[in-house]
């Protein structure tokens, strides 16, 4: 004889009430953006930083961002740089570096020296070199990745605005600073205008055309040909990545521009909250020419990046105690003296005879003292196409796009 299980009225009522409560809890979690899984231990510092920025719902977002920007990140970064240079006892090196390897997922099998005892301090470990064969250069692509990291954003530059992360833009002119007109661009248009003023009175439509050309956008003034367009790529280097950056193509560096500034975190979570973060942070922009026109590589500093080093420029000093807000310092490589030419010849970098510093594809250019960001801005034909996806991992030497 079969017996049906009996349920009391109270238990049935409790089970009936739990269903909408569970559904409501899930809906609230989805609306608040709460994660369904606990945050990994290695990501908790960044999660705590984002929490500091978002906590206090009664405060406007601008005040929270201003509070974060008031942190003495430059002082903390210089202190971290000093700590990086402290020589560790031999018995302490292996446990300290092993903890860092485990926390940030470092692949030591790629390092030129795998023995942890070899690295005297944290700085040497951060700037470790790789084995020559682990980063082959893509021969089928005219442009390769300058660093190991994650692709944050890429594409065409429109309206002189560039995206640092999806939906958050910054001004191209604020990022690179004022630029001189290209040889076939602004300067030639002003020359044509002077010639017309010296000759017979031109037609009104011609004057209107010239006035429109002279007031062209900052993006247009960088282009040397109307058949080209301006593109950009943003590569984010995490603390566990290889910290050196390389030349993405064969090109000639004509100028170095150093922007002293803040050293805020460039983590994508923070980049979504701080507008024009890349324009606020300290950065070193190398600008010049490649086979298709304008080309620039900008190394953006971040929290705990004690310095940005460029191998062929020994005069560059970053994260100094005092600086003037909004200022920048230029150095031209066009008139290169003998001393600079010799220094530029090290590390696979060749110095030009009064024509700038010539960089070969894949040559080591510089290094960070921790993770940061590389921004490429370059001119190319309009049919240039990227072989990338936002958020993908990339390594030095892998192709970025093709013509």
**Which residues are catalytic, by number?**
148, 246, 372
Cα angle, residue 84 at apex, residues 323 and 68 outer, rounded to 5°: 50
- Distance between CA atoms of residues 304 and 370, nearest Å: 7
On the 0-12 / 13-18 / 19+ scale of CB atoms within 10 A, 318 is buried
On the 0-12 / 13-18 / 19+ scale of CB atoms within 10 A, 90 is exposed
Under 8 Å between Cβ of 284 and 296: no
Concatenating the DSSP letter of every residue in 204-262 gives HHHHHHHHHHHT--HHHHH-S-TTEEEEEEEEEPPTTS--EEE-SSSEEEEEEEEE--B
In 3D space, the residue among 379, 360, 104 whose CA is nearest the CA of residue 224 turns out to be 379
Other C-beta atoms within 10 Å of 253: how many? 26
Q: What share of the chain is helix, strand, coil (3-state, %, to 5)?
A: 35, 25, 40
Concatenating the DSSP letter of every residue in 357-386 gives EEE-TT-EEEEESS--EEEEEEEEETT-EE
* Coil/strand/helix, residue 13: helix
Q: Which residues of 58-78 are buried (b: 16+ CB within 10 A; e: fewer)?
A: eeeeeebbeebeebebbeebb
Cα angle, residue 117 at apex, residues 112 and 121 outer, rounded to 5°: 90
Structure-token pair, residue 211: 């006035």
The pair phi, psi for residue 296, each rounded to 5°, is -145, 145
């Amino acid at each position: 004889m079969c017996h049906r299980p009996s349920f009391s009225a109270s238990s049935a009522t409790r089970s009936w009430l739990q269903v909408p409560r569970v559904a409501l809890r899930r809906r609230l979690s989805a609306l608040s953006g709460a994660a369904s899984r606990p945050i990994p231990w290695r990501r908790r510092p960044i999660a705590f930083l984002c929490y500091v920025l978002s906590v206090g719902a009664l405060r406007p977002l601008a005040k929270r961002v201003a509070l974060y920007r008031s942190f003495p990140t430059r002082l903390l970064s210089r202190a971290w740089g000093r700590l990086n240079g402290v020589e560790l006892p031999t018995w302490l090196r292996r446990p300290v570096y092993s903890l860092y390897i485990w926390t940030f997922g470092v692949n030591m099998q790629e390092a030129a020296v795998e023995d942890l005892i070899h690295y005297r301090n944290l700085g040497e470990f951060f700037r470790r070199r790789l084995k020559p064969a682990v980063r082959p250069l893509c021969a089928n692509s005219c442009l390769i990745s300058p660093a190991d990291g994650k692709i944050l954003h890429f594409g065409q530059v429109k309206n002189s605005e560039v995206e640092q992360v999806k939906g958050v833009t910054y001004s191209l002119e604020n990022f690179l600073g004022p630029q001189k007109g290209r040889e076939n661009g602004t300067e030639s248009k002003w020359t044509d205008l002077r010639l017309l003023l010296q000759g017979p009175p031109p037609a009104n439509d011609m004057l209107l055309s010239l006035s429109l050309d002279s007031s062209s956008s900052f993006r247009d003034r960088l282009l040397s040909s109307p058949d080209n367009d301006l593109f950009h790529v943003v590569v984010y280097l995490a603390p566990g990545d290889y910290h050196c950056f390389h030349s993405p193509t064969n090109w000639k560096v004509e100028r170095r521009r150093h922007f002293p500034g803040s050293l805020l975190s460039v983590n994508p979570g923070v980049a979504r909250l701080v507008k024009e973060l890349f324009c606020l942070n300290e950065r070193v922009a190398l600008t010049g020419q490649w086979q298709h026109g304008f080309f620039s590589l900008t190394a953006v500093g971040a929290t705990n990046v004690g310095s940005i080093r460029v191998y062929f420029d020994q005069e560059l000093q970053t994260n100094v105690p005092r600086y003037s807000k909004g200022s920048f310092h230029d150095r031209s490589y066009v008139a290169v003296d003998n001393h600079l030419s010799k220094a530029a010849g090290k590390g696979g970098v060749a110095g030009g005879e009064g024509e700038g510093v010539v960089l070969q594809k894949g040559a080591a250019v510089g290094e960070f003292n921790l993770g940061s960001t590389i921004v490429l801005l370059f001119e190319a034909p309009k049919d240039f196409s990227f072989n990338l996806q936002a958020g993908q991992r990339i390594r030095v030497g892998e192709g970025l796009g093709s013509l």
